[in-house]
A and B are shown apart, each in its own frame.
Chain A
C-alpha cells in the first residue's frame, strides 16, 4: 500500500481541519487558491509532482464547496503527460472536477482517443473511465466506434472490455442518435455468453439500456438472459470471488431480471419454464437471516424477481404467492423491507385481480401512515391513494383527513391534494364530497391549493341539489372563530351565489350574511377582497326589493374601495357601485353563474403533472401508467365527461366587466375547441376515457351549448377571437390535458418571419424548427425534444400537405428517449403559388396522456420570395407591359391597421418584398419588388405598389402585378392579410390572417379575406 506521499497536500488538509470556524477555513482556502494561481501562472518552475499536488488541492477545495474557476486547463493538460502517475492524476481530477458540458474537455479528445486506441492497457483503462464518467456528445461522435471495437475485441483483457461496455453504455445513453447500434443483437447475444462475470455484469448494464430503448431487436438475447439467471441460480461456474455473502453475484441477478422486464412477454415455452423455475426458487427460497448484508442482497434479488413475476403476469398461483409475501413484508420490523413491501404493493395494484387481496391489508397500511419514518409514510400514502375505490373511499379519506392534522409539513400539500382527488373520484354522495373539502380547508388551509377550492365551487355550481347544502355548510364554518383565508374565499363565493336559498333559516338573512362576511374583510389579504366585493354585489342583487339599510352599508363599502390602490379592487368596487344603482336591471347582469363545461379534473391533472416530472424511464413505470387506466376502467364507473378546469373560475363573469386578460379567453376557447372537436372525433380509446372517469358524472353539454356558454363568458364581441381560437392549429386531444406553453399562434407567426425558432412547446415536448430556403425548395429540420426524464412513446408526425406543396418528412422515431432531441428533416418543394398551409399533425403518448396537436408549418408564401432591387429602367417597362387583370390586380383595402409609412416599408421588407425607394414620386406611396419561385412559374418577378392616404391611414390602394394570374391574386391576398392585421408578440392572435386548413376538407374553401370582411 502506498499512501499519500504528498506532504504538501496532507499539510493543507490538516490546516483546513484545524480551522476553528468557517471564516478561518475560507481564509485558508483563499490563501491556497491564490498560491496555486500564482504557481500556475508561471508554469516553467513547476515540476510534475507539484502540478499533481496542486490539482489535487484544487479538487479538495472544490469538494468542500468552494468555487474553483481556474486551473481546469492544468488538470486537463496532465492527461497528455507521458508518464503514468501524472496521467492518472490528470484523468481522475478532470473527471471529478468537470462535467460533460465543459469546453476544456474538447481539448483532450485527441489525447483520450490516442490512449484508447493505443497499446498501453493502463492508459486505455484511464481513458475509458474518463469517457464513461463524463463523456458528452463530442466524445460519442469521435470515440464510439473505437469503444465498440474494444468491447468486441478478443485480444483485450476483461479489464478493458468491461470498461468499454460501460463506456459505451454512457455514450449510448447520452446520445443514442450518435452511437450506432444497428445489428447489435448478434453481438449482444455473443457478449451475454461471456464467462467472466465482471465483463458480463457490465455488458448486462449495457444490454438493459439497449432493450429499454428497443426490445424488439433483441429477442434473440432473451434466452441468453435466462441462461445467465440459471447459471447464477445454480451457482454453476461462478468463481468464489463473485459470490457475495454466499450469493452468486446478486447484482448480476438483479440486472438480468431487470433486462427481462423490458420484453413484453416470454413466448418460448421452454425458456418460460426455465425462467419460472428460477423465479419460483427465488420466491420460495429466500429466508430472513441474521446478517444484514446477506439479507439485503438476497432481498434485492427477491424484490426484482417479484417485479418480473408481476410483469410477466404469471400464473395465479405465483401471483398470490407474491401478494402473500408482500403482505408479510409490510408488517415486519425491518424498515427497509417494510418500505419496499409498500412500494411493491403499490406496483402490484396494477395487476388485475389482486386488488381485493391487497385490500385485506388496509389496516396494516394505515398503521404505516403513522410510521416514524417519512419515507415509509410516503409509500403508505401512495399505496392508500392507489388502492382507494368506491368501497373503501370513505374509510381511507377519513383516515387521511385525520392524519392531516398531525402530518409533517413536507407531506401536507400532497396529502390534501390526494384526499381531494379521492373524495372527488369516489364520493358516494356529493354532500360528503363537500364536507370533505371543507374539512380539508379547515384543517390544512395553508396546504390547500386554489385548484381544490375552485373545484368544489365547480361542483356546487353544476349540481343544483347541492347548492343549499353547500351554502349552509359555508355559513356554519363562518361562525367558527378563526378560519383560514381559503375558507373565507370559498364561503364568500358560495354564499354570494346561493345564500338566497337559505333565506328562511335563522341567521341567514341577506343582512346577517353580509354582516358575518364583512366581519372577515379586515383580516383578509388583497386577492380575497375582490371576491368579497363580488359577494356583496350578489347579495345586493338577490335582495330585491332592496333593503335600504343593507344597500347603504354595501354602497359605503364600494365607495370606500373605489379609491383602493389595487386596480382590480378599485375597478370592481367602481363597477359594482355603478351597476347596483341600476335597480332591477342588476338581476340580469349579475345573474347566477352558468354551469361550467365539463372537463377532466384539474386536480388529477396536477397530480399527474408532478408525477410526470419525476417519472423515470422504465418498463415498470410505462406499464404502470398504461395499466393504471385499465384498472380504472374496471371500476365500472359511469363515464363522466371530464370536469371543468380552473381558468373559467374567475369569480366575476359579468361580460361587461370581465377583467380577464384576453389570453385567458384564448385559453378557454382553445380548450373548448378541443372538446368540441373531441365530440366529433370517432371512437376514442377506452384507455383515454378511463382518466376522466368519475362517479360524479355530470351531463356533458352538447357542443352547441358548450360554445354558446363560452361566448356568454367572453362576450359576443369576441366572436372573432373565438373563430380564431378555433382556427388555431392546436387541436386538443380527447384528454386534452396537456396545455401548450406559450401561444402557439404567436410562435407560428414569428416563424413566418424567421427561419428558426420554436414551433410548439408543452410540458413534455418541444418542437423546434430550422429552415433553409433556396428558390422553390426548402429544407426544414424539425427538432423534437423530450423534456422529461421518461420517454415519449407512440410518437407520430403526419404531414398534411396542401396541393401546391410537395412535402417529404423523414421518418419520425416512435419513441423519443428521455431528455433527448431527435431531428427530422423535411423537404419542401413549392409547385405553384398558393397561400394554403401545410399542417403537421403531431401526437405522442406520455403516461396516460395522449397528446395530439395540429400545427401549421411555416412554409408560407413569403418563404419562396426573394427580394430583388429594381432600377427605374427595369421597373417601368415591366409595370406597363403587365396591363390590367388578371396579371395586374388593383384593390382598395380598408380596415388597415394604421401604421407609419416606414413601418409598412419594413413590414414589406420582412416578408421579402423589397421596397424600392424613389421609384414613385409620391412620398406616400411604396413600390416593392420581389422574385417568386415555384416549379410551375419558375422565377417570376412580382411588382407591388401601395398608395396610402395620409389623411386616413386605415385605407390604401394596392396594385400587384406579375406574369402569372394566380400568383398575382395570391400575392395580393397575402399582402392584404399582413396589412390588415399584424400579429405581434404583445397581442393575442388577431382575427385570422392565415387559417389553418381543416385536416380533412380541402383547403381554401373559405376565403380568409372574405371572412375577415364579414367580421369587420
Chain B
C-alpha cells in the first residue's frame, strides 16, 4: 500500500503531496523535511529505494523533480517505481511535455489526475487512455458549467436567488 506520495523539487520545495494514511499536519511537515533531506542528497547512480522508519520510499527523479512514494517494507518496489512512471507519462500527455512549472501552476490539475490513477493507496487504473478520457470528460463538465454561468438568463436567476441560497448553505451546517 502506498502511504503517501511526495513531489519535491531539487531545491527541496514541495510541489505536491497526497496522503493515504492519516498523518497530522505536524507529522506531514516533519516527514517531508526528513525525506527530502535523505533523498535529495543521494547520488545519481544509486538505487531508487530508501529505507525509512520501517517503510520503504521508492523515488525517481524526472528533470528537476523527485517523485517519491512511501510503501510497506515488503511491497514490490519495482512495481511502485513503474506506477510513478505511469503517472509521469499521463502528466506528460495532459500537459504536453510536462515540466515543473506546469505542475506548480496547475497543481490542482495534478490532483485531479492523481485521483484517477491512485486510490486508497493502490493503483486504480493502469490504462493511460482511460485516465486521459476521464480527465477530458471532467474538464468538459467544468467548461459546460462555466458557459452556463456566463449565459445572461443564468446571471439574472442567480442574482435573484443568491441571498436565499447562502442562507440555505449556512443552515446546512446545522442539519448535517
Contacts from A to B (Cβ < 8 Å) = 1-4, 9-10, 13, 17, 43-44, 56, 59-60, 62-65, 67-68, 73, 77, 80, 83-85, 88-89, 92, 95-96, 99-101, 107-111, 122, 129, 132-134, 136, 159, 162-163, 166-167, 169-170, 173, 197-198, 201-202, 205, 239, 241-242, 244, 249-252, 254, 258, 293, 296-297, 299-300, 303-304, 335-336, 338-340, 372-373, 375-376, 378, 613-618, 620-621, 789
Other-chain residue from A17, A77, A335, A338 in contact with B173 (beta carbon distance below 8 A): A77
**Cβ–Cβ contact A296 & B82, under 8 A:** yes
Tell me the bound Cα distance from A201 to B122 in angstroms: 9
Other-chain residue from A201, A293, A339 in contact with B126 (beta carbon distance below 8 A): A201
**Cβ–Cβ contact A107 & B141, under 8 A:** no
Residues from chain B with Cβ under 8 Å of A59 in the complex: 108
Given contacts A133-B120, A201-B126, contact A375 B112 (CB under 8 A): no
User: For residue B78, which residue of chain A has the nearest CB?
Assistant: A300
Given contacts A63-B107, A614-B53, contact A85 B74 (CB under 8 A): no
**Cβ–Cβ contact B46 & A167, under 8 A:** no
Determine how close the nearest CB of chain A comes to the CB of B104; give it in whole angstroms.
6
**Cβ–Cβ contact B124 & A202, under 8 A:** yes
Determine how close the nearest CB of chain A comes to the CB of B141; give it in whole angstroms.
5
Tell me the bound Cα distance from A202 to B18 in angstroms: 19
Tell me the bound Cα distance from A85 to B86 in angstroms: 26
Cβ of B111 under 8 Å from chain A: yes
Given contacts A92-B115, A99-B24, contact A251 B123 (CB under 8 A): yes
Other-chain residue from B1, B94, B95, B145 in contact with A84 (beta carbon distance below 8 A): B145
Other-chain residue from B79, B143, B172 in contact with A254 (beta carbon distance below 8 A): B79
Given contacts A44-B166, A296-B82, contact A375 B120 (CB under 8 A): no
5 contacts between A and B (CB under 8 A): A10-B105, A13-B104, A13-B105, A99-B19, A122-B138
**Cβ–Cβ contact B47 & A376, under 8 A:** yes
Tell me the bound Cα distance from A335 to B46 in angstroms: 6
Q: How many B residues are at the interface, by size bracket?
A: 35 or more
Residues from chain B with Cβ under 8 Å of A242 in the complex: 126-127
Other-chain residue from A89, A129, A297, A375 in contact with B82 (beta carbon distance below 8 A): A297
Residues from chain A with Cβ under 8 Å of B173 in the complex: 73, 77, 107
**Cβ–Cβ contact B78 & A17, under 8 A:** no
Residues from chain B with Cβ under 8 Å of A9 in the complex: 108
Residues from chain B with Cβ under 8 Å of A300 in the complex: 76-79, 81-82
Tell me the bound Cα distance from A224 to B111 in angstroms: 35
Residues from chain B with Cβ under 8 Å of A1 in the complex: 94-96, 139
Residues from chain A with Cβ under 8 Å of B119 in the complex: 129, 132-133, 163, 166-167, 170, 202
Tell me the bound Cα distance from A304 to B74 in angstroms: 11
Tell me the bound Cα distance from A62 to B17 in angstroms: 10
Determine how close the nearest CB of chain A comes to the CB of B13; give it in whole angstroms.
8
User: For residue A64, which residue of chain B has the nearest CB?
Assistant: B14
Cβ of B99 under 8 Å from chain A: no
Residues from chain B with Cβ under 8 Å of A43 in the complex: 166, 169-170
Determine how close the nearest CB of chain B comes to the CB of A362; give it in whole angstroms.
21
Residues from chain A with Cβ under 8 Å of B14 in the complex: 63-65
Tell me the bound Cα distance from A910 to B149 in angstroms: 69
Interface string of B30-51 (1 = CB under 8 A from A): 0010000000001101111111
User: For residue B42, which residue of chain A has the nearest CB?
Assistant: A373
| Interface pairs A-B: 7 shortest CB-CB | A614-B54, A300-B78, A335-B47, A170-B120, A99-B22, A373-B46, A241-B127
Residues from chain B with Cβ under 8 Å of A159 in the complex: 134
Q: For window 121-135 of chain B, which residues contact chain A by CB distance below 8 Å?
A: 121-130, 134
Determine how close the nearest CB of chain A comes to the CB of B88; give it in whole angstroms.
10
Which has the most chain A C-beta neighbours within 10 Å: B79, B120, B170? Answer: B120
Tell me the bound Cα distance from A73 to B20 in angstroms: 21
Residues from chain B with Cβ under 8 Å of A376 in the complex: 46-47
Determine how close the nearest CB of chain A comes to the CB of B37; give it in whole angstroms.
12
User: For residue A109, which residue of chain B has the nearest CB?
Assistant: B176
User: For residue B169, which residue of chain A has the nearest CB?
Assistant: A77
**Cβ–Cβ contact B120 & A244, under 8 A:** no
Tell me the bound Cα distance from A196 to B154 in angstroms: 41
Residues from chain A with Cβ under 8 Å of B123 in the complex: 201, 205, 251
Tell me the bound Cα distance from A136 to B21 in angstroms: 11
Residues from chain B with Cβ under 8 Å of A241 in the complex: 127-130
**Cβ–Cβ contact A336 & B124, under 8 A:** no
User: For residue B72, which residue of chain A has the nearest CB?
Assistant: A616
Given contacts A167-B119, A242-B127, 8 further A-B contacts (CB under 8 A): A63-B17, A89-B108, A92-B115, A166-B122, A170-B121, A244-B86, A254-B76, A372-B45
**Cβ–Cβ contact A336 & B145, under 8 A:** no
**Cβ–Cβ contact B120 & A166, under 8 A:** yes
Given contacts A85-B145, A293-B82, A303-B76, contact A129 B104 (CB under 8 A): no
User: For residue A621, which residue of chain B has the nearest CB?
Assistant: B74
**Cβ–Cβ contact A205 & B122, under 8 A:** yes
Tell me the bound Cα distance from A202 to B119 in angstroms: 9
**Cβ–Cβ contact B79 & A250, under 8 A:** yes
**Cβ–Cβ contact A250 & B130, under 8 A:** no
Tell me the bound Cα distance from A63 to B19 in angstroms: 11
Determine how close the nearest CB of chain A comes to the CB of B38; give it in whole angstroms.
9
Given contacts A43-B166, A297-B78, A297-B82, contact A92 B47 (CB under 8 A): no
Residues from chain B with Cβ under 8 Å of A338 in the complex: 47
Other-chain residue from A62, A107, A296 in contact with B78 (beta carbon distance below 8 A): A296
Residues from chain A with Cβ under 8 Å of B134 in the complex: 159
Other-chain residue from B18, B19, B126 in contact with A198 (beta carbon distance below 8 A): B126
**Cβ–Cβ contact B47 & A336, under 8 A:** yes
Tell me the bound Cα distance from A244 to B134 in angstroms: 19
Residues from chain B with Cβ under 8 Å of A198 in the complex: 124-127, 130
User: For residue B122, which residue of chain A has the nearest CB?
Assistant: A205
